[in-house]
Amino acid sequence: MENLKRKRGYKRGYSVALLVGLEDNRAVLWQIFSHVAKLYVTMNLDGKRTDYKALYNFHESIVNALRPALNEGARSIVVASPMKTTYAADFLNHVQKHHAHLIQSKNPDRATFATLVGSADQPHRVAELVKTKEFLELIAETTSHEADHIVYALDKNIYNINGNSAALFSLKEIEDKVYDLKERDNFRTDYLVLTEKYLADAKDKSRLHRLLQIARNMKIETKIVKAETPAGKRISQFGGIVLFTKATKQRAPER
């Protein structure tokens, strides 16, 4: 994360995580990319934190604001709040109580939450926060868990004898598959995973970025992993990129 200011021609890189900065009377959400942090949305608390209904609605507004980013494939969420406050813990308790599906291990759309002490309400504070050892370690841990979950799904479904799963390892085949999709199939989940090294070594990076963008538009789960991680090593065994499909629901019998 080199700079929060996006200069003309400056590439933001790939999505790393979401950062939720909780303050006494507002929440500031940031999209963290490999090169920049981008302000996502700011929400104000309509009332006081001692007002249960006001705090409930505030937490609900944060969850609702996170949903579009989650649908685009962001699965690592770091929640930051100032020292000697319980803002982060209060929000995570709300998620656990009212949105448990977001953190259930069997949910293919689950998110990984982590908490961090610090303020993330202003660009300069976020710039400092994302460089700290604590933040980098949290991101490494959450994204590793996220990638491991995806690779576990790959290994579990790649040799599915029922024919409900499919896997492609050629860039051309993956492009043909993604570009041929007309609409999302609610009975399955598609994953597109590649390593940082594969992206870095690509001769035509614009081709890959176009593929990733269209995949996200089609609600395909996309993930870029470090090649040296366990998940990255597994993906590297397939050439560095893989698209696979996992059946998530049983289709109703045709009549």
Q: DSSP letter at 239?
A: T
Does residue 231 share a domain with residue 170?
yes
Dist. CA 134–CA 139, nearest whole Å: 9
In this prediction, residue 254 carries a pLDDT of 45
In this prediction, residue 188 carries a pLDDT of 66
Other Cβ atoms within 10 Å of 96 Cβ, number = 12
In this prediction, residue 95 carries a pLDDT of 94
DSSP 51-69: -HHHHHHHHHHHHHHHHHH
Does 252 map to a domain?
Answer: no
Q: List the CATH number of the domain containing 157.
A: 3.30.1330.30
CB hemisphere CA count around 191 (13 angstroms)? 32
Does 203 map to a domain?
Answer: yes
In this prediction, residue 158 carries a pLDDT of 67
Q: DSSP letter at 238?
A: T
Does residue 78 share a domain with residue 28?
yes
Query: What residues contact residue 148 under an 8 Å CB cut-off, 6+ apart?
Result: 230, 231
Does residue 123 share a domain with residue 23?
yes
Q: DSSP letter at 108?
A: T
Q: List the CATH number of the domain containing 118.
A: 3.30.420.60
Does residue 192 share a domain with residue 122?
no
Residue ranges in the chain whose pLDDT is less than 50? 1-10, 161, 250-255
In this prediction, residue 120 carries a pLDDT of 94
In this prediction, residue 159 carries a pLDDT of 60
Say how many domains are in the chain.
2
The pair of three-digit structure tokens given for residue 134, joined into one six-digit string = 């604590």
Dist. CA 182–CA 5, nearest whole Å: 36
Domain with 30 in it: 15-131
Does residue 188 share a domain with residue 87?
no
Q: Which of 111, 73, 68, 101 is nearest to 220 (CA)?
A: 73
| Cα separation of the two ends of the chain | 54
